[in-house]
Amino acid sequence: MYEKHTKFMKMALGEAKKAGQKAEVPIGAVLVSNSGDVLSLSHNQTISLADPTAHAEIITLRKAAQRVSNYRLLNTTLYVTIEPCIMCMGAIVHARVSRVVFGAKDPKWGAAGSLYNFANDTRLNYSPDIVHSVCEDECRTLIQEFFRSRRIKE
């Protein structure tokens, strides 16, 4: 199981690197069906699209929903390099994504266990399974180096 997670997280990391090359925060996401088919993948595009909702997860969910012609993305797994934020976890819950697999935790914005834990909130009528720390070091290093290089330029 872990090997499968690593394979798809490496794809998400590839997307994150694309974002970083465009001066976007390097976060990537991949949505996979239970049969292992990649339904969609993307990366952060908030700056290039001038859209505060253009997080990797949101774009990936939108593309997949269009592909399957349904806003419910049942029996899917979302791979994302950094723990999803509040907005993204809300969309994940609404889309009924079965599982979220992420790389590095986000103590400032994370809503899958770090700052908030939407998956364990019994007030919600749905909650995905959460798997964390897949390719954690590589995911953390990518984003830390991005922000470190931005601080040096400033």
Q: Give me the sheet containing 28-33, strands edge to edge.
A: 38-43, 28-33, 76-82, 99-104, 129-131
DSSP assigned state of 69: T
Exposed, middle or buried: residue 129 (CB in 10 Å: 0-12, 13-18, 19+)? exposed
Residue tagged active-site, from 3, 15, 24, 57? 57
What is the spatial distance between Cα 125 and Cα 117, in angstroms, rounded to a whole number?
14
15 is catalytic: no
Task: Pick the closest to residue 135 from 3, 9, 4 (CA basis).
Answer: 9
What is the spatial distance between Cα 8 and Cα 31, in angstroms, rounded to a whole number?
9
Task: Pick the closest to residue 91 from 108, 106, 76 (CA basis).
Answer: 76
Q: Write down the residue that tokens 């970083």 correspond to.
A: 20
Active site residues: 57
